[in-house]
Amino acid sequence: MRKLFKTMMTIAAIVALSGCSIGGKDGGKDRGPGWVDDARMANADSDVDNWMNYGRTWDEMRFSPLEQINAGNIANLKLAWSVDLDTSRGQEATPLVIDGVMYTSTAWSKVMAIDAGTGKILWSFDPENKGGKAVHACCDVVNRGVAVWKGRVYVGTIDGRLIALDAATGKPVWSVVTVDQSQPYTITMAPRVFRDKVIIGNSGAELGVRGFVSAYDTNTGKLVWRFYTVPTDPAKGPDGAISDEPLKKLAAPTWHGKFWELGGGGTVWDSVVYDPKYNQLLIGVGNGSPWNHRIRSEGKGDNLFLSSILAVDPDTGAYKWHYQETPGESWDFTATQQITLATIAIDGMPRDVMVQAPKNGFFYVIDRKTGKLISAEPYANQTWATKVDLATGRPVEVPGARYQDSPFFTLPSGIGAHAWMPMSFSPKTGLVYIPAMNVPLTYAASDPYVVRKGRWNTGVAFGRSGPPPTLPNDPKGQRRAMLSAMKGTLVAWDPVAKKARWTVERDWPWTGGTLATGGNLVFQGTAHGAFEAYTADTGKKIWSFAATRSIMAGPMTYRVKGEQFIAVMAGYGGSMGMATPSPFEKRRLPNGQILVFRLGGTATLPAYTPEPLARANPSAETFSAAQLAEGGMLYGTYCAICHTGPVNPDLRRSGVLTSAESWKAVVIEGILEPNGMASFRDYLSPAQAEAIRVFVNGRAKELQTMEKSK
């Protein structure tokens, strides 16, 4: 009986495969624009014209077998076309290309369809988010991409909606609110689609939310299942969700105290991978809320399923297995980073694994059938653990790493040894190309700890006192030393040998995602606007294009009418774009672009003249020392996280700095809300807002002196 069933299944599979002309020249064109289905995705790897899913195939390797552009002819790779975007906010999306049409999202969760051969815009869609929602976006109003399924395009919006658009026209078909919009939830991830279900998670664990991931019916927009990644207040009773049982049995015993008051975290904000071979969905779960484990859970317990890989049934959401990378997470060590499925030789035997380079600095190879850890070796510098014990699967932490009694020099810090920037895996070289980062930060426990609803609540004081032994013993010198320690590395990691085969150093950590191709190429952009190609096997730089703006996003490749193209979104932003000083000296960030290349391309970029920043603009008024001190504290709490980097205005140069009335109109009355600057009237009194103006004036005077002395 069993054998007969198997035979029947095989026949059914052959019929299904042959019946849909999948991967053939016609693809799904006969079904209209944007036709992607299960049969087509099953053959996605050899369907080389198309890039139909966020990570190209269901494996999310970000490898294309295309080799028309290769290490031998790349000198002739030139710009084919470009599209100017409408904002200088971060651009993180990986475009999809299906049957000659490019579908991509841009900042503020907008969507465009473009003729992938010519760059002609076919339609665009604006979900009309309210500008003030930007204050809930920890890491800029970015969006990492769309999903396309059976003639519809799916996008998650920064205010928590999931919208289905008609792939032919860009007109909405349905829209659902996927989060409690009274909470500081956002969505930046690309949805994933399979078997007529669209999966979407959310972000917000810095601001105090409870994480979950949802599956919706692609036809109707109805919720199919929802999995909460962390427990909640037991007084509330179960959620009535598929996660109830595993939360009760496995997770709840690992949490302590009133962890639900700030949501607990565990947001699913980036990687979700469908694994048809083992009929499971692999979900990367984020950090705790607040970060500080001692505040969140009385310093006790592993806090499942934070910082874990969670495997669930794709149709029902039922729990299958989990592996927790950072038990008792206390550093913003998310396990949300890219999950890639591969079959690699372990001890000489092929093994079905998932690989991941999460924020915590270790490269994990996990048996994806069982969830058992195979190896975990550091792919970047890290100070918090000596190793991961393979017998227990747990990291062996360095004493003091939890910054309980004294500050700890934390590396990686919350920026991560690897963030959302896509990595790629080439089955030809067997190497994983990781955009790795080195961003240290001193963590200390917040003392006193004050909860600010709807704002950042990490329970961590950053860079305060107690410099690490290798850094100069003064705050400014320490800051300079940390900035100079910041760098990026393109790591070509061998997951079998568990070591880097080659590396390329970057002078700034916030660098681009990678693409690997059959032409022995690895593509990566840089913060300083170089779009580069390396030989995949040896890491030799063989091509570079001078883009006029930063590149963070993952490049992709496709073919139209037999011609191979390479595409990448350009634009600076994201968390480092908000919270870390600008690497661009004194120029304003330009608007983003889509850049597309082909052999012998003849396009040129529109002329770009860098716009200088406004001069420092201090007021001539004199202020009290008390106001200055209060303003400094408030600035650090409410303003620095968004106004330190180049994405948002440098307040020292602000035109409203010299007017108490105008300042109040912006900060309290919210007149710039449409631009993304919400009113802070729920958080600050007018007197406090004025104290911040006083503090910023002091900083503006310092800046003016510096500018004059140059």
Tell me which residues touch Ca ion (CB under 5 A): 287, 332
Q: By C-beta, is 287 or 489 nearer to Ca ion?
A: 287
Closest CA to 386 of 374, 375, 395: 395
Kindly report the number of other CB atoms within 10 A of residue 11's CB atom: 10
Structure-block tokens of residue 488: 């990026």
Q: Of the two residues 69 and 135, which places its CB atom closer to Ca ion in the complex?
A: 135
Q: How far out from the chain centre does Cα 626 lie? A: 40
Beta-bridge mates of residue 559: 564
Closest CB to Ca ion among 576 and 616? 576
Closest approach, Cβ 548 to Ca ion, in A, equals 31
- Cα distances (angstroms) measured from residue 580 to each of 134, 224, 382, 570, 575: 17, 40, 20, 19, 8
Provide, rounded to whole angstroms, the least separation between the CB of residue 74 and Ca ion.
Answer: 37
In the complex with Ca ion, the residue whose CB is nearer, 99 or 332, is: 332
Backbone φ and ψ of 159, nearest 5°: -95, 15
Select from 258, 161, 145, 270 the least CA-distant residue to 211: 270
Closest approach, Cβ 414 to Ca ion, in A, equals 6
Angle at 188 between CA 184 and CA 192, to 5 degrees: 125
Which H or E run includes 138? none
**CA 660 to chain CA centroid, nearest Å:** 38
CA distance 549 to 593: 8
Q: DSSP labels for 166-231? A: ETTT--EEEEEE-S-TTS--B--SPPEEETTEEEE--B-TTTS-B-EEEEEETTT--EEEEEESS-
Residue 287 or 593: the one with the smaller Cβ distance to Ca ion is 287
Relative to beta strand 147-149, strand 121-125 is: unpaired
Task: Please report how close the Cβ of residue 291 comes to Ca ion at its closest, in angstroms.
Answer: 8
Cβ neighbors of 677 (< 8 A, separation 6 or more) are 131, 132, 134, 648, 666, 670
* Cβ pair 657, 693 in contact under 8 A: yes
Toward Ca ion, which CB reaches closer, 20 or 213?
Answer: 213
Q: Which among 332, 474, 507, 537 is annotated as catalytic? A: 332
CA contacts within 13 A on the Cβ side of 301: 20
What 3-state DSSP class applies to 264? strand
Q: Which residues is 403 bridged to in the sheet?
A: none
Nearer to Ca ion by C-beta: 306 or 667? Answer: 306
**Cα atoms in the Cβ-side hemisphere of radius 13 Å centred on 520:** 12
| Closer Cβ to Ca ion, 183 or 375, answer by number | 183
Q: Residue 608 CB, nearest distance to Ca ion (Å)?
A: 33
Q: How far is the CB of 227 from Ca ion (least distance, A)?
A: 19
Q: How far is the CB of 184 from Ca ion (least distance, A)?
A: 13
Residue 334 CB, nearest distance to Ca ion (Å)? 5
d(CA 509, CA 305): 29
Closest distance of CB 327 from Ca ion, Å: 17
Q: Is 47 a catalytic residue?
A: no
| 147 vs 445 by CB, closer to Ca ion | 445
Q: Which is nearer to Ca ion, 82 or 338 (CB)?
A: 338
What b/e readout covers 194-212, taking b as 16+ CB neighbours within 10 angstroms? bebbbbbbbbbbbbbbbbb
The residues, any chain, with a CB within 8 Å of residue 147's CB and separated by 6 or more, are 53, 54, 96, 153, 154, 190, 191, 192, 193, 198
Write down the least CB distance from residue 29 to Ca ion, Å: 41
What does the block give as tokens for 590? 């330009």
For the chain, how many helices (H) and strands (E)? 10, 40
CB 263 within 8 A of CB 210: yes
Tell me the catalytic residues: 332
